């Protein structure tokens, strides 16, 4: 996405590869640490680092990846480095804040949809948005175009997370690469769970809260049945489309030739229609 943000405005600036490498390393560092916090055993269809090598090794591996990410950023010339470092650091702090809020949600019985969207904006969307904007900066984009591209990425990130929440509950584990129902097992406050709690009748809500509290062996199956009874899957599809439309509006407002936007339009379609 960093490289695509660059190409939207100009030919690839070789310095974009340094920024892209830094983003990729930072992203994978967060995944290693997230998997430890979430006690996740699978990532992309393979054993997580902490499951295979132990928590200490996983923590140190993540730490080193972050250090190497900054080594790549340090290769960027002074022409761009101040803006790039400022955006990268702001984003890194926001991602950590989003993860903390996500963990705090696990201890609360109720979470508002607005609160959840704010958390997703921090934990997931800002990194997509910043990746695009860093590329745009290196491609010589104006501040206005950078802002629209950032908002495109932020709204697309929320749509992406809605799809991710959906796949965790209803996806094919062979395609998704994770244990389906992982969020349900951990009582994660996802888009699906929040809507189910809001739309369920008294009996369904009581059962849902009991399942979250008691964690029976058939918890995933029973929670999924309540989701289906509450039409959560269709609601999630509509909400995803709302944020996708907002993303496209910002992309439309970027002052470049329409044909240059086509790769980003195709990426957006892939991210929200994927099955993995």
Flag whether the pTM goes above 0.85: yes
Instruction: Tell me the per-residue pLDDT of 211-243, one tens digit each, with 9 for 90 and over.
Output: 998 889 999 999 999 999 999 999 999 999 999
**Coil vs helix vs strand at 46:** strand
Residue 257: both structure tokens together: 């030739």
Long-range Cβ contact pairs of 251-256 (< 8 A, separation 24 or more): 251/148, 251/149, 251/152, 253/148, 254/8, 254/145, 254/148, 254/149, 254/152, 255/142, 255/144, 255/145, 256/8, 256/9, 256/145
Contact 157, 124 (CB under 8 A): yes
Provide CB contacts within 8 A for 144, sequence distance 6+. Answer: 255
Predicted pLDDT of residue 107: 83
Distance CA 272, CA 276 (A): 10
Distance CA 76, CA 219 (A): 50
| Half-sphere exposure for 180 (CA within 13 Å, toward CB) | 16
Scan for tokens 């888009």, then name that residue.
191
Q: Supply the Cα-derived Rg of the chain in whole angstroms.
A: 20
Average pLDDT along the chain, 276 residues, taken 10 residues at a time: 98 98 98 94 92 98 98 97 98 97 86 94 96 98 98 97 91 72 88 94 95 92 96 94 97 97 96 82
Instruction: Tell me the per-residue pLDDT of 150-197, one tens digit each, with 9 for 90 and over.
Output: 999 999 999 999 999 999 998 877 776 666 788 899 888 899 999 999
Distance CA 162, CA 33 (A): 22
H helix runs in the chain, sequence order: 2-7, 15-38, 49-53, 55-73, 78-105, 113-120, 126-138, 143-170, 173-176, 182-185, 191-199, 202-214, 219-229, 232-252, 258-273
Predicted pLDDT of residue 177: 67
């Amino acid at each position: 996405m960093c490289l695509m943000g660059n190409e939207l405005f100009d030919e690839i600036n070789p310095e974009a590869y340094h920024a892209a490498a830094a983003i990729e390393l930072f992203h994978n560092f967060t995944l290693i640490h997230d998997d430890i916090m979430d006690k996740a055993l699978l990532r992309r269809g393979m054993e997580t680092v902490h499951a295979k090598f132990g928590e200490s090794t996983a923590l140190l591996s993540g730490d080193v990846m972050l250090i190497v990410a900054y080594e790549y950023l340090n290769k960027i010339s002074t022409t761009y480095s101040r803006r790039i470092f400022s955006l990268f650091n702001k984003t890194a702090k926001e991602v950590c804040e989003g993860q903390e809020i996500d963990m705090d949600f696990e201890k609360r019985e109720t979470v508002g949809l607005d609160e959840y969207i704010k958390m997703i904006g921090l934990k997931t969307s800002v990194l997509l948005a910043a990746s695009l904007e860093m590329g745009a900066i290196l491609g010589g984009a104006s501040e206005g175009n950078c802002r629209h591209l950032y908002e495109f990425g932020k709204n697309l990130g929320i749509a992406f997370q809605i799809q991710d929440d959906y796949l965790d509950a209803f996806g094919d584990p062979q395609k998704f690469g994770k244990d389906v129902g992982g969020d349900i097992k951990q009582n994660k406050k996802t888009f699906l769970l929040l809507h189910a709690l809001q739309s369920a009748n008294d009996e369904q809500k009581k059962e849902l809260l009991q399942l979250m509290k008691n964690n029976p062996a058939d918890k995933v199956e029973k929670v999924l049945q309540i989701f289906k009874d509450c039409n959560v899957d269709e609601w999630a599809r509509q909400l995803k489309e709302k944020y996708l439309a907002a993303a496209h509006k910002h992309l439309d407002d970027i002052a470049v030739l329409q044909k240059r936007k086509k790769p980003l339009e195709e990426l957006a379609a892939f991210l929200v229609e994927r099955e993995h």
